[in-house]
Amino acid sequence: MKKSFLAFIRDQFTAIPPVPTADLTGLTVLVVGANTGLGLECTKHLARMKPGRLILACRSQQRGEAAIAQVKEETGYGAAELWLLDLAQFSSVIAFADRFEKDGGRLDIVVANAAIATEEYDTTSDGWETTLQVNNLSTDLLCLLLAPRLVETAKKNPSVKPRLVVVGSETHFWVDFPDEVYKAPNAFELISSKEFSVPRMGSRYMESKLLGTFFTQSLAELLKDTPVIVNTVNPGLCHSELLRDTTGVRALVTSLIKSILARSTECGSRQLVYAAVGGSDDPDRLRGAYLNLYGVEEPSDHTLGEDGKERRDKLWKDLIYVLTKVDGRVKDIVQEYSR
């Protein structure tokens, strides 16, 4: 599928239905990037459904505590927990997963929402281009390390179909990777390199969402024989803090477009909630799906067909190679569910 700017405008003026609801009594819900924007609004909606545990994964202690206070004030839910997580550091992701393994208990819903958008090339302490690590490598690592807990929850609770939601974007329609990425010894190492990145930083956020779409398809395929439902969802253009680091002419253009087209962050967050608890009449149709406006849509042509599958398989192979070097459990998890 291709998505034109006119189709994007049409979607932005389409009213978002009321937020879906579900009984989350006794369930454990995790929202990553829960202290601001879409993550915070999504967390509020889920808090109103009274989950047994609601974990806010945030980078900042101060902002996380402020979010918990806001959730309590606006929803009456007073049992939210703050767990620190910095996606710019693999060590933080591993520590988070280890903590969950030790005392997290069951896990029913994960909303992997955190993302950044920057036009400046920079690298993390782990040596990766920052947007690529935060939006993709660390997010993917977290999802993979938490997958066994989701599967185990379903085994112990046969009536439950856990959900793992990767927050995506329709911007993935507007970028492709050149063939050199798929012919490189390791696609992620090339994408992260300064030579490849610098000329493309203006579209790096969109590229990260394309990679996220591929990842969702691959993870859903890995977990296809389990009750866990993996999907990706487009919240649309919202009034959020995502583009706060944009500068210059791009910032002016973005500000103008948002003033005309952007929906409220609360409206956008309803789509995240739909991906997490909606579609209960036939949840299996959401497996590996790209969701928009409470429905399943075909993703970018770049991800489809035989060519799309070859690209996806190449990226998956290279991703697992990279993440296995970070944490050896990744290889074990992939092997376990590939049998």
pLDDT in tens, 165-180: 999 999 999 999 999 9
Mean predicted confidence (pLDDT) in 225-245:
85
Task: Between 330 and 256, name the one with better pLDDT.
Answer: 330
Among 46-50, 133-137, 207-211, 248-252, name the one with the lowest average pLDDT: 248-252
Mean predicted confidence (pLDDT) in 149-162:
96
222 vs 312: CA distance, rounded Å: 13
Write down the pLDDT at residue 260: 80
Mean predicted confidence (pLDDT) in 322-333:
98
Whether the per-residue pLDDT at 254 is higher than 60: the answer is: yes
The one catalytic residue in 205, 274, 290, 337 is: 205
326 vs 117: CA distance, rounded Å: 24
Average pLDDT, the chain: 94
Write down the pLDDT at residue 239: 82
Structure tokens at 136: 């993709």
Is 205 annotated as catalytic? yes
Structure tokens at 317: 């192979």
What's at 256, amino acid-wise? L
The one catalytic residue in 3, 44, 161, 209 is: 209
Question: Which burial class, exposed, middle or buried, applies to 284 when counting CB atoms under 10 A from its CB (0-12, 13-18, 19+)?
Answer: exposed
Write down the pLDDT at residue 84: 98
Write down the pLDDT at residue 242: 60
Q: How far is CA 244 from CA 21, 116, 235, in A?
A: 31, 9, 17
Whether the per-residue pLDDT at 311 is higher than 60: the answer is: yes
Structure tokens at 309: 């599958």
Whether the per-residue pLDDT at 250 is higher than 70: the answer is: no
Write down the pLDDT at residue 257: 73
Through-space distance between the first and last CA atoms of the chain, rounded to whole angstroms: 32
Q: Say if CB 303 and CB 311 are below 8 A apart.
A: yes
Whether the per-residue pLDDT at 104 is higher than 90: the answer is: no
pLDDT digits (tens, 9 = 90+) for 14-67: 999 999 999 999 999 999 999 999 999 999 999 999 999 999 999 999 999 999
Is 309 annotated as catalytic? no
